[in-house]
Amino acid sequence: MRWYDPMRRSSEIAYLRRRGRQAGFSTLAAYAAEGQGGRPRVGITVSGQVGGAVVRNRVRRRIRGALDALPPLRRPLRLLFIARPAAAHESYARLAADVDAALARLGAGASVGSR
């Protein structure tokens, strides 16, 4: 069972892009905002610029796997990860390191090497 709930509404995603704190890397951009209680909510978007359906799903699974490997966050945040085209050519280890670094930069309680 995942420690977070999925973010499915486009209005939540748009809000995070407009008003959330941002951390950018060559493979992904991450946004965070305070949640309204309960469990953290996470959204992962991978556009067609990243590649075909197989590539997009592989990148999405790798980002989700990196999140699943982390310990649960201590507070309810809303997080959004947007994959960039460079993510299609990077290894799982690199994506996981970028997810970890993004959470640390956004103040989400995780840090590099916390696995």
Model confidence band, residue 102 (pLDDT cutoffs 50, 70, 90): very high
- Answer left, alpha or beta for residue 94, where phi above 0 means left and psi between -120 and 50 means alpha: alpha
Decide if pLDDT at 110 tops 70.
Answer: no
- Residue pLDDT, tens place only, 47-81: 999 999 999 999 999 999 999 999 988 888 999 99
Q: Which residues of 56-95 are buried (b: 16+ CB within 10 A; e: fewer)?
A: bebbbebbbebbeebeebeeebbbbbbbbbebbebeeebb
Predicted confidence at residue 109, as pLDDT, reads: 60
> Which CATH architecture describes the domain 5-105?
2-Layer Sandwich (3.30)
